[in-house]
Amino acid sequence: MASPVISLTFTDGHAEEVKLNPRVLVEVERKFGATIPGIEGSLYGAWHRLGRPGVFDEWLDTIESIEEAPGVEPTPTVPEASEGS
């Protein structure tokens, strides 16, 4: 499973691309349990990954937009035939 990446644009115009690594995903699970809310869970993960800058709800007010960053799709390969097959 690839770590999700989200792109945030803030009200001051700067942008951040945030990878929700395994540590962050565990923190999101601990906060929300098995039913992780989509947008809030992603934003909570981004907030956590960015070092928890300020109060979460106040930090949300600094975000202008959010997008799921395109991930790198795995390239399927055809396995070579083994000897005797």
37 located within any domain: yes
26 located within any domain: yes
14-21 mean pLDDT: 94
Residue 32, CA distances (Å) to 13, 20, 53, 79 in order: 30, 15, 20, 41
Average pLDDT, the chain: 85
Structural domain of residue 28, as residue ranges?
5-68
Instruction: Please give the tally of structural domains in the chain.
Output: 1
76 located within any domain: no
% of the chain residues with pLDDT over 70: 79
26-48 mean pLDDT: 90
61 located within any domain: yes
The model scores a pTM over 0.85: no
8-37 mean pLDDT: 92
77 located within any domain: no
